[in-house]
Structure 1
Amino acid sequence: MYLVLIPVAILIYQLLHLLYTTLRTRSLRSIPGPLIARFTKLWYFDRVRRGHFEEDNIRLHETYGPVVRIAPDHYTICDRAAVKQVYGTGSKFTKSAWYEGWKHPSPDRWTLFPDRNVKRHAETRKRYSALYSMSSLVHYEAFVDQCADIFATRLNEYAERKGSLNLGHWFQCYAFDVIGDITFGQRFGFLDKGEDIEGTIAALEKTMVYSTLIGIYPEWHPRLFGPLSRFRWSGAGGRAYIMKFVQEKIRQHNEHPKRNLEDGALQTQDFVEKMITARDKNPDKVTDYHVFMLGQSNVIAGSDTTSISLSAIMYHLLHNPEVLEKLRSEIDEFTAQGRCSAQVTFKESQEMPYFQAVMKEALRMHSAVGLPLWRVVPAGGAEISGHFFPEGTTVGVNGWVAHYDEEIFPDAKRFRPERWLEAESDPERLKVMNDMYMPFGLGSRTCLGKHISILEMSKLIPRLVRDFDFVTTGEKWDTQNHWFVKPTNFIVDVHRRV
């Protein structure tokens, strides 16, 4: 009898919630969108489940205009003023309940990325900001060089036996080993054979799928996480595995400290070692949980974002040979002038104007994140793009939608790095473009690891373009979007460049 009442209770709850949402958002009835999206989140859930919502989102705005309803109280927006209003510095729009799916259900377990507590997030970010700052980048170059050398060795081996490889997979192996070295002071070993060490990549992918989908119905996360975490095949199980993986690495660090250096020599230390030193000096300010949180955040976010961005750069170069040749000429010229080392330095890469434009254009064309960055309208409501949104309404801008806005980026579907160089002579135009450029997010929630990712790309891409030739079939690659828009079949042949 009671079992029969459970689905009835759920149905009644859903109907009451729909009625409440409809009454609360009467002022938004005129906002267009798919008809079924007015009544249920199922339409949005299904489109996200299919794994191509970045394309769906662009088409929705092409069809319906700058503001589109995709669920009873969820609206995606494409408007430069709205981007600044929702994500700009000092914005009172907080992260939505969707981010709950990325947290451990226990209230005392929280991490930086999904934390919806504005004050706590700001305080935590301060503890980490120096580690990720631009000025700290040069201290991590040795870690990147070591992994880039091994990656080059693997590519030479493929070139000798004339074999094909999934470049996207190898980029993830590279990014995983770099973040392992930077975070824990040791590579994970992905670059040794290109194999998934202990199923870590697979676990991470399952975590992405689970968190992305459960976030649409966050009320189910506390109910499902516990039972599902017992199964390795589930997304919850993948998250539990990643947590144990990080805890073991930190345990090894605590048991076998490398050195006890003064502050002046901290540049030679990895992230966890620096955090442990800070914890030992001030345990009230930096706790064991802060150390764990940093390690987990790096592992979960530090490989996919960078590997996808590396893939985007190479994919668009290979599908635009004229751009590739122009970039190669710049790199060859710098090399001939002694301004481009065998192990390309970060400083050298920053002095290559065309390369900087290539990197920026590739991340515009294919940002790692492919879903709206959902935010909640603050108390009192807000006027956005000509509509008044009541407080509590969920709104968001998808970076893919912003980056393919024809008014901001004319001929947006064309890979044209020159657009960034041309805009440098028109400061107002460049400002407009930068206002809508958001591959790493915007405002106070900008990706903390942004500079690490740029470091990895800046040092590796010029080296690959200078030293290797890659041949692709020319066909469009396949991708899967579960928060990150990840390529699945970036197959190439590689040859040593003479």
Structure 2
Amino acid sequence: MSIDFVSWTLKSWIVVATALVLTITISQIIYNAFFHPLSKVPGPFLCRISGIPSWYYATRGDRHIWLWQLFQIYGPKIRVTPNTILFRDPAAYRDIYTQKANVQKAAFYEAWQKDKDDINTFNTRNKQAHSRRRKMLNQSFTEQSLRASQPFLIKHVDRWNELLVAETGDDQWSKPMNFADVSDTLVFDIMGDLCFGTSFDIKEREENPFKTMPHVVVQYMQFFYPLTRSPMLNLIVWLKPRGLDALFKSITPPNIKSYISFVEDCVTKRLELYQAQKEKTVSEQRQDMFWFLCDAKDDAGDPAYSEGELRAEANMLIVGGTDTTSVTLAAVMFYLTRDALRLQKLVDEIQSTFSTPEHIAHGPQLTSCIYLRACIDEAMRLSPSGPSELPREILKGGAIINGEFYPQGTVVGSSGWATGHNDEFYGDSEVFRPERWIPDESTGVTEEEVNVLRANFHPFAQGPGSCPGKNIAILELSIAIARTLHRLEVRKPLEGDNSLGQGIPTNGWGMRNKNIFQLQDAYISVRNGPMVQFKKRPV
């Protein structure tokens, strides 16, 4: 008996189509939950059958807290989507992120491309192509470029210090200020000078069109981040060059478009300056970070970057070059203004090492400030610049992670927030205790214990995906903190809204501790606070 499809009504076709979709969906759910190669990995049932929970928390900005909660419930290995396994274990981290790991960047990174020409070191997935780009990028982050960057850093930090107390007398505290906003102005101006040959001067009192840019960068990341965590990510990546990019461009909010135009304009002006200075000797040219990018050479000795590639790398440098420094500065001030003894201990180290703030610069003396570096490391542990995982996709042949085999196509990673807030590893992970990073008989901390901690500490990531600007970021943080505390006293306001940035008892699990600096997850760490005041130190 044959079926007469011609005589079917529209209603009949809808019923059949609906039944087919339901059958496929239910079959996929059953497979993901019970027959998938990852079905034995612990995790919530909804995560085992769908990527919707992971995407949902990404849209809320608290995905990192959700991941921490799952680790608390299920242990050091969790399944957060049907195809994603995350770990909270030092051995697993090494298996995933080292140079020899049989993985590549996941589709997550490709989703950040705004169009087919927007290809940079960050969003390049292929291991060989990424290695080539990274090799060229590394030419911009050498000891020479580190020393060349120092005059720009010092100029902006000194001016920033002046502005922090510009409206106060010698023995007066400044008005309370949101340090997240204040630190953004410093870091953004430094990045402008290092990358584009001119300061944006957003830390200055006068109005200018660039003042909103730090907030626009955050809005740019918040706009795209949920897309990169979508349960339909692979479909989105496939559709992007087939019309979806054009659609996104047409619906992109005006503030995001203004940021993209801002980057384009900055690169255009810096390229014009580079070309104009070519006739000068190298010592006479402006040797900022962008100069080293323009001057980089490939293996054949030709310019490493085309103009289009320089534009693509510039966006990565703005986001990567501002986020880590800003969030760490804010975290350091949050924790020190709530811990008078440790604040004074740091001030004593800085002032005993340097007779004046003007002497604080790159070199052995700054490196000898071990408590300063410990405070920076502790702040980065508690407030990582990337609170969720950096996803990696396992390649053909599979991978052994922490002694277990995972098949090709599995997405794996380790969450920065969950790793740093791990009581099983740190013992008192919710306590700001820089001493844990310094071997000292008086505190009972051994060198072996510190080595174990550092094996699990990766604020700049590890392996081929690690941050190439680590040394510049540490120098910037060290100079900014040391010069500021040498010149100025700092405190949490004694009255008014002085709780900005801290946990609130009525918040959800993992966000209640008032002694923890709270972040939002937008791939980068979005922060608000702390409120602080500054006062000139007696001469």
TM-score w.r.t. length of structure 2: 0.82
Q: Which residue of 1 aligns with 2:414?
A: 397
Residue 32 to residue 242, structure 1, CA distance change in 2 (3 Å): farther
Larger Rg: 2
Give the match for residue 408 of structure 1: 425
Superposition pairs of residues 190-339 of structure 1, within 5 angstroms: 190-193=202-205, 197=210, 199-217=212-230, 218=233, 219-220=235-236, 222=240, 224-230=244-250, 233=253, 237=257, 240-253=260-273, 257-258=276-277, 260-263=279-282, 265=283, 269-278=287-296, 283=302, 285-335=304-354, 338=355
Structure 1 contact 471–493 (Cα < 8 Å) conserved? yes
C-alpha distance in structure 1 between counterparts of 2:390 and 2:19, whole Å: 32
Matches within 5 A, 1:183-194: 183-193=195-205
Which residue among 434, 439, 462 is the counterpart of 2:459? 439
**Residues 109, 228 of structure 2: 8 Å contact kept:** yes
In structure 1, the gaps of 5 or more residues are none
Q: 1:496 to 1:21 in 2, by over 3 A?
A: farther
Query: Do the aligned residues in 2 keep the contact of 1:225 with 1:236 (CA within 8 Å)?
Result: no
- CA distance in 2 between counterparts of 1:409 and 1:456 reads 27
Q: 1:156 aligns with which of 158, 161, 165?
A: 165
State the one-letter code of the partner of 1:269: Q
| Partner Cα distance (2:280, 2:75) in 1 | 58
TM-score (norm 1): 0.88
1:173 correspondence with 2:189: no
Following the alignment from structure 2 to structure 1, what is the Cα–Cα distance between the partners of residues 389 and 143? 27
1:109 aligns with 2:129: no
Name the residue aligned to 1:487: 527
Moved more, 81-90 or 234-243: 234-243
Deviation at 1:282, TM superposition (A): 5.3
Q: Deviation digits for residues 42-73 of structure 1, max 9, x if unmatched?
A: 11111122112222222211111011111111
Contact 1:229 1:236 in 2 (8 A): no
Whether the aligned pair in 1 keeps the contact of 2:189 and 2:203 (CA below 8 Å) is: yes
What is the RMSD of the two structures over their aligned residues, measured on CA atoms?
3.2
2:94 is equivalent to residue 84 of structure 1? yes
- Kindly indicate whether the alpha-carbon contact (under 8 Å) linking 1:168 and 1:308 is maintained by their aligned counterparts in 2: yes
Give yes or no for contact 1:145–1:343 (8 Å, CA) kept in 2.
Answer: no
After superposition, the Cα gap between the structure-2 partners of 1:431 and 1:228, relative to the gap in structure 1 and judged at 3 Å, is: same
Alpha-carbon distance change, 496 to 97 in structure 1, aligned in 2, over 3 angstroms: same
CA contact (8 A) 1:229 1:235 kept: no
Deviates more, 1:484-493 or 1:88-97: 484-493
Q: Answer yes or no: is 1:342 the counterpart of 2:362.
A: no
Percent identity among equivalent residues? 23
2: distance between equivalents of 1:11 and 1:198? 50
CA pair 373-14 structure 1, distance change in 2 beyond 3 A: farther
Specify which of 8, 26, 51 is matched with residue 41 of structure 1.
51
Which runs of structure 2 are paired with 1:15-94 in the superposition (5 Å)?
Answer: 15=25, 18=28, 22=32, 26-94=36-104
Query: Judging changes above 3 Å, is the alpha-carbon distance between structure 1 residues 469 and 414 closer, same or farther for their aligned structure 2 residues?
Result: same
Q: How many angstroms does 1:307 deviate by?
A: 0.7
- Is 1:371 matched with 2:388? yes
5 Å-filtered alignment, 1:452-471, equals 452-471=472-491
Give the AA of the match of 1:94: Q
**Partner amino acid for 2:222?**
V
Q: Establish whether residue 429 from structure 1 lines up as the match of residue 449 from structure 2.
A: yes
* 1:144 Cα deviation from its structure 2 partner: 0.5
Query: Structure 1 residues 19, 57: closer, same or farther in 2, change over 3 A?
Result: closer
Question: 1:387/1:242 Cα in 2 relative to 1: closer, same or farther (>3 Å)?
Answer: farther
Structure 2 unaligned blocks of 5 or more: 1-9, 503-516
Distance in 2, matches of 1:423 and 1:386, equals 34
* 2:506 matches 1:497: no
CA distance in 1, matches of 2:157, 2:85: 42
1:421-473 per-residue CA deviation (whole Å, 9 max, x = no partner) reads 12797444333211210111111110122122111101110111122122225
Structure 1 residues 455 and 471: alpha-carbon distance in aligned structure 2, compared to 1, 3 A threshold:
same
After TM superposition, give the deviation of residue 132 of structure 1 in Å.
1.1
| C-alpha contact 1:344 1:463 (8 A) present in aligned 2 | yes
